Amino acid sequence: MKKVIVAAVLFGLLASALVFSACGGDSVPTGAIATVGDATVTQEQFDQIWKQAEAQYASQEGAPPFPKEGTAQYDQLKASIVNYLVQNELIKQQAADMNVTVTPKQLDERLKQITEQVGGQKKLDALLVKQGVTTEELRTQLESQMLQEAVRAKVGENAKVTDEQIKAYFNDPANKAQFVVPDSVEARHVLVDTKAKAEKVQKLLAADNSDANWKKVAKLYSSDPGSKDKGGSLGTFPKGRMVPEFDKVAFSIKPGTVSVPVKSQFGWHVIEVQKKTPGSTKTFEESKSMIEQSLKFQLQAKAWETWLADAEKTAGIVYASGFDPKTLTASPSPSGSAAPASPAPSPTS
């Protein structure tokens, strides 16, 4: 959760940023990396986000090393940050024209939610220090994120889905699989590394398969970190989710039966199915709300894509040398030179 909170503010936006095309003929002021209409995106803004990216790479255990200059990964990160900053400025300008705002109260409430999610102010402060983000920078990035959400909601507010469209989607043979609910089971297991241990566990549980004994045996013997402290519980899962050897046994034994040892690539399992739920096919009425939401989301995404493309054309975006995202992310041509950028950018939602 901690990584998600800050990453959602920065890298979640980077991943969804536009790839804008540059307009030629104009110069970019000294100290700026781009102009968006009459406004500038500064080198200082870029450097701030870049430092945060370096800190966030360093703060994540097992993360790959920070991209080296001259690599494709380095250029992609650079392009993402430029796109992020340009998109923020573009949306800021458009939001003003649309009378869309984020109030201080709304921003305070979002920050309060994040503080609660990470476990309090002290934990949030420590997390921000670790990831190279000040509280003020967090507020600025949150405000940009919230402003985008508000503008996007405004753009998509007129998206309507008809009953005919919903019915057509439900009756389309290509969509039938979406309404099939597979067989599922609720199960628990103990995982050990040898057959001998599994046989011992099986005897202990076959003699007493109460919840209390499962908790005791799982905690003592199981090597599965995700379930050993939960009485071996794996929750409910559909057919085909687990490895074949496990899946075959879990869907063949009767509820309440403790299985014989089962070998898989992870070791030896002793399994008990607590509940079985047969598969089914959802009716139109059961599916209607889901279909409507899905189709509405598609319409809103298309409206947002169109709106962004129009806003880009209106703004007139110019990049400083070395900061054009399309050049930074262009694939090399067979001759080794940069491939030409496509004439029309493809904004993503």
Task: For residue 114, give the DSSP letter.
Answer: H
Identify which has the larger pLDDT, 159 or 10: 159
Mean per-residue pLDDT, 73-93? 96
Q: What is the number of residues in the chain? A: 349
What is the model's pLDDT at position 18?
A: 52
What is the model's pLDDT at position 3?
A: 42
% of the chain residues with pLDDT over 90: 81
Confidence of residue 347 (pLDDT cuts 50, 70, 90): very low
Q: Encode pLDDT of 331-340 as tens digits.
A: 654 443 333 3
Strands, E, within the chain: which ranges? 32-36, 39-42, 180-181, 184-192, 233-238, 262-264, 267-277, 280-281, 317-319
pLDDT, the chain, mean: 88
Residues 6+ apart with CB under 8 A from 44: 31
What is the model's pLDDT at position 273?
A: 97
Confidence of residue 209 (pLDDT cuts 50, 70, 90): very high
Which domains are assigned to the chain? Answer: 2-159+293-328 (1.10.4030.10), 183-278 (3.10.50.40)
Parallel, antiparallel, or unpaired for β 280-281 and 233-238?
unpaired
Amino acid at 300: Q
Mean per-residue pLDDT, 130-155? 94
What is the model's pLDDT at position 19?
A: 56
Query: Residue 7: is its pLDDT beyond 90?
Result: no
Query: Residue 268: is its pLDDT beyond 70?
Result: yes
Parallel, antiparallel, or unpaired for β 39-42 and 32-36?
antiparallel
Confidence of residue 157 (pLDDT cuts 50, 70, 90): very high
Mean per-residue pLDDT, 88-97? 95
Confidence of residue 20 (pLDDT cuts 50, 70, 90): low
> Alpha helices, DSSP H only, in 172-210?
195-207
Confidence of residue 21 (pLDDT cuts 50, 70, 90): low
Query: Residue 91: is its pLDDT beyond 80?
Result: yes
Write out the DSSP string of 22-77. Answer: PPPS-PPPTTEEEEETTEEEEHHHHHHHHHHHHHHHHHSTTPPPPPPTTSHHHHHH
Mean per-residue pLDDT, 111-140? 94
Confidence of residue 60 (pLDDT cuts 50, 70, 90): confident
Query: Residue 346: is its pLDDT beyond 80?
Result: no
